[in-house]
Structure 1
Amino acid sequence: MYLESQSEERMSILTSDDNNKALTFIKKLVRFNVIISLISYLAGWSFFAYLIHEPQKTSFHDNSLLPGLASREFVAANQAERLVHQLTNLSAEFHEKYFPVKFLRKQFEDIGLEVYEHKFRFTYPFGYEKPAVEGLNLYAIFRAPRAASTESIVISAPYRSPSNPNGSTLPSIALMYSLAKFFKTKNYWAKDIIYLISGNELLGIQAWLQSYQGLENRFDQYLQSDVLLAKAGAIQAALNLELQSFSPPYVQVKLEGLNGQLPNLDLFNVAVELCNREAVPVVYHGESFYMTENEWENWKRKARTMVSMMATQATMLPTGAHGLFQKYAISAITLEASDRRAKYVMVNGLQLGRSIEGIVRSLNNMMEKFNRSFYFYLLASTRRFISISSYMIVFGLLALPLACRSLFYYFQSYNSIGQHITGDNNFDFWASFKPCVLAHLFGLLAVGIVPLVLTRLNIFNMIMFDVPVAILAYVIFIILAIISLNLPGLMTAHAKKSINQYNLQSMVTLLNTLLLLTSISLINISLAIALASIYVPLLSIFSIQDHHRSTKSSTLLRRICNLFKTITLLLIHPITLHLICLFGLSIWMDPDFKSLRKLPINDLPLLLLKHLKRSFQSQPRTMMNFIEDWYLFDNWAFPIVSLFLYPVWLQLWFQSFTIVI
């Protein structure tokens, strides 16, 4: 009687209302899986379009900045203009990579600042033996009269001569000196101010920051620098100047840093606010805060700004020297003023100087390090943004189909109690995970063998062939890609799987993709959304095609589906995807892009062929740049692609050749 009562109790639990409701939900989820995925994906983009239409207004979260109380008193603009002429004459006597250190050092010493030189040496890590590049940084320290050198602000400028193709930065250095001389006469400073003039662009900034922070890099043997003779307080913020003229039409603010990092939003807001107070037009990615009565035009302007920002952030490359400060948790931005002549000159040196003075004075007012505003955001204009609490909803909706399809495959393989639906006595749980493990091992091989070969070229006596390093690296990538494409043929013994094993393998692939996108979204939302917009719809389509994977299906239909899947996978291969991005960038940067519609149809194929050829020629160099940035600046783009994105693609490739029995 006791056993019968226990049995009845178990049956009552299994047939309870809660269990029936769960089974009903599972059946509906499996039945309407495709519709749920489609609605979720479209809802994500719809909500994103709404966020662009109704973004949040920027505001100051740290009240201690007090930008409205930062009275501007700078008047020495003429002095800066005279110094530019002197520097222009002196720069003609120096090589492009060097600058008049003695002259600048004397200028800063004459106003009573501590001036020091910082030497560094860069040895190229790849390829054959090349002469080491020796560089020099010059920095001056103004000790705050009202503090004990516990905190500091950095004002930096890279040295570029007038012959530099990227534009001269002599106006930046001249204005920095004029501001330093003016700041020395004031006694309200509570933070030290460091004036840094870097040589060799980003190399100089990286070497100086490594020495200042006292942190060791795993690739220190390639960028060696002297110990700094003096330091100031902990760096709270940095302002990088790339002013090419004292009369630009506008000032552009740059903030994208290494690996997609962004500065505190309050720093950006301070720069915009103080520039506007001095009647300096501020733009971000070529767009300013300009609203009209035409809502559609306003939406297009904000969407264009946000897409441009996300495309830049997704590359994981810094847009200026400020990006290296953010690597050390220092909020930094760049103020750039081009030398482009406008019909009406709207800005002068006095306005630029007072704007920078106001920014530095606001930073001087801070009671603590930046911590009260956003570090994760997307800008729609200089006065509108989307916070992380909003755009993560967009990403969640875009990535939800991956979770739904994973549950679909799980419930196809198991019932609610955990037993197999089909009586598969030969079910091998580990066999479904082998492609995932093999794919990640292959990615680990790629990220290890390429730097190993490139740093050991002299051992392999490759110098007699005089092969460019970028071409050699590109050849290695192509060879690895060819090997990976033929891996399914080498695994013919494991290509046949039961329906349960195939469903489980599909679930692992989708979950691995979801894990990759979710992890990237926490550090670089732009890259995560870009990958989700490509992979989520394709994986959903591939999952629908799985209905025709069985050998019982029509042979013609199965072949058509397999052909479509193979072509699509080849198009989203990381190397092919990189080439497509270069092709699109080449067309976008073409000065005749706006007149493409006016071109005759006969000339269009020749134009596209020209851009395709340019993309092929630049691909080896750009791929090599990512490896170099990984070694020098700790850029994560190459490891992320090799260790995570490529294995995900390889799992999809394995799955396309799996035969369901």
Structure 2
Amino acid sequence: MASLDEEKPPAARKSRLIFRLFSFLVSHSNVVSVACLIAGCIVLLLLPVLAKNTYISENALMPGAAKSMFSNQDVLEANKLVRDIYDQRSVEPKSGTYIARLIRKRMEKVGAEVYHHKFKYDNIQFHPLSFFSSTTHSAILQNSSGCVSSGVNSIGIIRAPRGDGKEAIILVTPYNSEDIKLNDALSLGLAYAVFSLISRAVWLAKDIVWLAADSRHGEYAAVASWLKDYHNPVFSSDPWGSGIGSCFETNNLHKKNDSLFDEVAHNVFRRAGTMSAALVLKVMEKNERRERDRLDLLAEASNGQMPNLDLINIVHFLAAHRQGLDVNVGSFNFILKSALIKNLGKVLQALSKLAQSLNPTWKFGVNSGDFVEGTSTLASSMYYQALGVPTGSHGAFRDFQIDAITMELSPRTSFNNENGISSFLLRGGRLIEGVVRSVNNLLEKFHQSFFLYFLTAPDKFISVGVYMIAFALLAAPLPIVAAALFSSTSKATVSRNSDKKVSSSESWKWLYSAKVVFIVHLWGLMISLLPYPISRVPQTTSTNNMLAWIVLSLFSLLVLHLLMGSSRSHSEHCNWELLKSVSITAASVGLCLMSIINFSTAQIGAMLLVPLCLVVRPLNKQPQISLFPKAVYGIFSLLLVMATFPPVTLMILKGFFHGFSSVSMGDFWEFAEFLWVWNSATYLYLMLVHLPCWVLCVHILLHP
């Protein structure tokens, strides 16, 4: 006789199998939770080992296929512009317009279309209604009546002789017009030399735009202002735009004797084609001396956005294998010096050797030094992505879905060594030329390679298909434990009412817990808006603002608690197991939603929230164990609750990194302010997911 399962269709058998598997996981939720937590932590630690070598996915890029045209003659042109900047600086020490004038003359000399972009700065302020908008709207005030401060960007466009004007490559060089330094002058000189070379290139198929960004008040604001006007044109009879010309007159930037701004042609906003890629070029002077010239790549943009990996790959390939530069992508020095990570690397190296001795065909080789460096770089990559704040002005391009990176070039010698600087400029010019030539070969936008990845080295990466395993293992216990708690409560209710019909109030008892969770999350939304009125109070310190934030948050929480009813009636209706089940469900939903917006934030948040959600339970309802284990469990729960409170977590991290003497009450206010003015979604996660979940865990811990 055939079994009933064999008579059912395959879809029914599959659904039945899934139901049985989930029932098994729920019935063994404690063991499964511990196993998933341990496995998630192990996978997270092994991510540097699982990293793969980078490769160029788009064959059309062909980096290094052509011989470089950048020569010593171009280096002389760069040095000449640097000397002109410093010679003119001695004549006009208090005016920054001479730099724009010199750049304009150089752009016109090579036959580029030149114009000047004038804009105003305003202080970045938090406003809840503009949180989800671009940071350019809060950072730059274009239409205000008062003249706060102003800047002038100089832009030159080379039209491609072999192109149709529909695509462009952007080269950005930020400089401080009020206090020009030698490194800024070298950046401008190097960019001009490359710009001049490309103007003579016969292979050019995309327009080249050189943006000399006036970054006296910030690099990001200058670039973001230009990008905003580039993509959102304003049609006005005033060439200065919204009466901005009067502001430049009051700032002595528009003078009758100055030929910089007296021609209407230079005030017309000109455009090229769709931006294929953008390179932000900066020359830096490092304190330490190295054997080779150095290149630091900055790629993180707002909310963890990264450029297409192919852009980083071609820069690394040309820099390391063609110009012999030391390429770095950021790392944490304290991890490089950590004895724990070093010992872990040695253990993994020994295990890999043992595995290879057992089976030589296994390609599982781990080097201790590479593991430590990979862990340091991975931690840096995750940290800056989790902050959700751009690491440079390249982030302004990512807000418009344009692939961009910042290239910080630093010579191995001091700036006073003329021969060393000339050799450094030659390598830097050839590198930029090679990158521009590779992007010029591209027939479409970057799309072949990865957009979601972590870097463990300039030539190693972890794709989304690998690093999401750690998050999935860490977050998997939450729905399982929530289902187990709900199931156990339902079974207990049925057993108590086995001889009589279960009342409707008993079957819908979980709604009381849902009400509490909803009110606490509503409270989280309320306190996320409190910084706006607090920041409007003049002449206050960060410590005072933080104290006001705490007092108002506690007061609002007390009001909501009173609105929920008396504690006795609430405790009668709200079962702590149901409350924990609903709280864990809300936390899992919040983490999953955050993983879509910023995966790094969700990953770090899961490392803090998941252990807290699984461990916490009422102190007066501990398991039937002896006094000493019960005391240890209670102390561990209290310490975990304290350590996961966001201000305390920040204080602990700052104390370990910078010393506990530097910790102050206003640190979290400054950190939160840093997040909200940049519209980082991490701020929303802290206020709407992490903090409400922490309050609910404290409520469960103190449940009567």
Q: Give the TM-score of the pair, scaled to structure 1.
A: 0.80
Q: What letter is aligned with 1:532?
A: A
Residue of structure 2 in register with 1:269 after alignment: 313
Residue of structure 2 in register with 1:507 after alignment: 581
Give the fraction of aligned pairs with identical amino acids, expressed as a percent: 25
Residue 526 of structure 1: CA displacement?
A: 2.0
Contact 2:171 2:210 in 1 (8 A): yes
Aligned counterpart for 2:524 among listed residues 425, 443, 457: 443
Aligned counterpart for 1:611 among listed residues 647, 662, 666: 662
Contact 1:122 1:134 in 2 (8 A): yes
Kindly provide the CA deviation profile for residues 487-544 of structure 1, in whole angstroms up to 9, marking residues without a partner as x. Answer: 68645625644698432221221111112222222232222221111111222211xx
Rounded Cα–Cα distance in structure 1 between residues aligned with 2:50 and 2:469: 15
Residue 21 of structure 1: CA displacement?
A: 8.3
SS at match of 2:282: strand
Residue 59 of structure 1: CA displacement?
A: 0.9
Rounded Cα–Cα distance in structure 2 between residues aligned with 1:422 and 1:24: 26
- When residues 619 and 539 of structure 1 are mapped into structure 2, their CA distance, relative to the original with a 3 A threshold, is closer
Alignment map for 1:134-533 (pairs within 5 Å) = 134-160=150-176, 168-200=183-215, 201-214=219-232, 229-244=269-284, 249-276=293-320, 277-285=322-330, 295-338=367-410, 341=413, 348-414=424-490, 420=494, 422-423=496-497, 425=503, 426-427=505-506, 428-454=509-535, 457=536, 462-463=537-538, 466-468=539-541, 470=542, 473-483=545-555, 486=558, 490=562, 491=564, 493-494=566-567, 496-497=570-571, 501-533=575-607
Rounded Cα–Cα distance in structure 2 between residues aligned with 1:558 and 1:215: 67
Residue 564 of structure 1: CA displacement?
A: 5.3
Contact 2:299 2:404 in 1 (8 A): yes
- When residues 649 and 286 of structure 1 are mapped into structure 2, their CA distance, relative to the original with a 3 A threshold, is closer
SS at match of 1:319: coil
Residue 27 of structure 1: CA displacement?
A: 6.5
Contact 2:411 2:420 in 1 (8 A): no
Contact 1:121 1:224 in 2 (8 A): no
Contact 2:544 2:666 in 1 (8 A): no
1:549 lines up with 2:621 in the alignment: yes
Rounded Cα–Cα distance in structure 2 between residues aligned with 1:618 and 1:97: 36
SS at match of 1:149: coil
Residue 619 of structure 1: CA displacement?
A: 4.3
Residue 255 of structure 1: CA displacement?
A: 0.7
Contact 1:258 1:318 in 2 (8 A): yes
Kindly provide the CA deviation profile for residues 257-313 of structure 1, in whole angstroms up to 9, marking residues without a partner as x. Answer: 11111000000001001112122221221599xx99981122112111111211222
Kindly provide the CA deviation profile for residues 426-450 of structure 1, in whole angstroms up to 9, marking residues without a partner as x. Answer: 4333211112211222122223332
Rounded Cα–Cα distance in structure 2 between residues aligned with 1:231 and 1:658: 64
Residue 399 of structure 1: CA displacement?
A: 1.1
Contact 1:211 1:225 in 2 (8 A): no
Rounded Cα–Cα distance in structure 2 between residues aligned with 1:35 and 1:332: 46
Q: What letter is aligned with 1:625?
A: F
Contact 1:582 1:619 in 2 (8 A): no
SS at match of 2:119: strand
- When residues 473 and 204 of structure 1 are mapped into structure 2, their CA distance, relative to the original with a 3 A threshold, is farther
Residue of structure 2 in register with 1:78 after alignment: 76
Rounded Cα–Cα distance in structure 1 between residues aligned with 2:111 and 2:454: 42
SS at match of 1:67: coil
Q: What letter is aligned with 1:636?
A: A
Select between 616-625 and 55-64 the one with higher mean Cα deviation: 616-625
Residue of structure 1 in register with 2:658 after alignment: 586
- When residues 340 and 409 of structure 1 are mapped into structure 2, their CA distance, relative to the original with a 3 A threshold, is farther
Aligned positions, number: 596
Kindly provide the CA deviation profile for residues 164-212 of structure 1, in whole angstroms up to 9, marking residues without a partner as x. Answer: 79x8322111111111111111121111111011123111111111111
Q: What letter is aligned with 1:508?
A: V
Kindly provide the CA deviation profile for residues 341-369 of structure 1, in whole angstroms up to 9, marking residues without a partner as x. Answer: 48996961111100110000000000101
SS at match of 1:169: helix
Kindly provide the CA deviation profile for residues 604-632 of structure 1, in whole angstroms up to 9, marking residues without a partner as x. Answer: xxxx4x233xx5465443332323223xx
Rounded Cα–Cα distance in structure 1 between residues aligned with 2:581 and 2:628: 26
Kindly provide the CA deviation profile for residues 442-481 of structure 1, in whole angstroms up to 9, marking residues without a partner as x. Answer: 1222233322453xx4xxxx55xx335x456434422234
Contact 2:452 2:463 in 1 (8 A): yes
Kindly provide the CA deviation profile for residues 49-81 of structure 1, in whole angstroms up to 9, marking residues without a partner as x. Answer: 333213212111111111142431111112212
Aligned counterpart for 1:577 among listed residues 649, 662, 666: 649
Residue of structure 2 in register with 1:53 after alignment: 49
Residue of structure 1 in register with 2:99 after alignment: 100
Cα RMSD for the two superposed structures: 3.9
- When residues 85 and 333 of structure 1 are mapped into structure 2, their CA distance, relative to the original with a 3 A threshold, is same
Rounded Cα–Cα distance in structure 2 between residues aligned with 1:301 and 1:338: 21
Rounded Cα–Cα distance in structure 2 between residues aligned with 1:330 and 1:51: 28
- When residues 91 and 254 of structure 1 are mapped into structure 2, their CA distance, relative to the original with a 3 A threshold, is farther
Contact 1:161 1:168 in 2 (8 A): no
Aligned counterpart for 2:691 among listed residues 635, 646, 654: 646
Residue of structure 2 in register with 1:133 after alignment: 149
Residue of structure 1 in register with 2:614 after alignment: 540
Contact 1:123 1:131 in 2 (8 A): no
Aligned counterpart for 1:628 among listed residues 660, 667, 677: 677
Residue 655 of structure 1: CA displacement?
A: 2.8
Kindly provide the CA deviation profile for residues 324-347 of structure 1, in whole angstroms up to 9, marking residues without a partner as x. Answer: 211111111111124674899696
Residue 385 of structure 1: CA displacement?
A: 0.9
Residue of structure 2 in register with 1:36 after alignment: 32
Rounded Cα–Cα distance in structure 2 between residues aligned with 1:655 and 1:88: 67
- When residues 577 and 133 of structure 1 are mapped into structure 2, their CA distance, relative to the original with a 3 A threshold, is farther
Rounded Cα–Cα distance in structure 1 between residues aligned with 2:110 and 2:56: 35
Rounded Cα–Cα distance in structure 2 between residues aligned with 1:47 and 1:625: 31
SS at match of 1:59: coil
Q: Give the TM-score of the pair, scaled to structure 2.
A: 0.76
Rounded Cα–Cα distance in structure 2 between residues aligned with 1:548 and 1:30: 25
Structure 1 gap segments, 5+ residues each: 1-8, 217-222, 588-607
Residue of structure 1 in register with 2:262 after alignment: none
Q: What letter is aligned with 1:279?
A: G
- When residues 551 and 285 of structure 1 are mapped into structure 2, their CA distance, relative to the original with a 3 A threshold, is closer
- When residues 444 and 70 of structure 1 are mapped into structure 2, their CA distance, relative to the original with a 3 A threshold, is farther
Q: What letter is aligned with 1:529?
A: Q
- When residues 582 and 515 of structure 1 are mapped into structure 2, their CA distance, relative to the original with a 3 A threshold, is same
Q: What letter is aligned with 1:478?
A: I
Residue 317 of structure 1: CA displacement?
A: 1.5
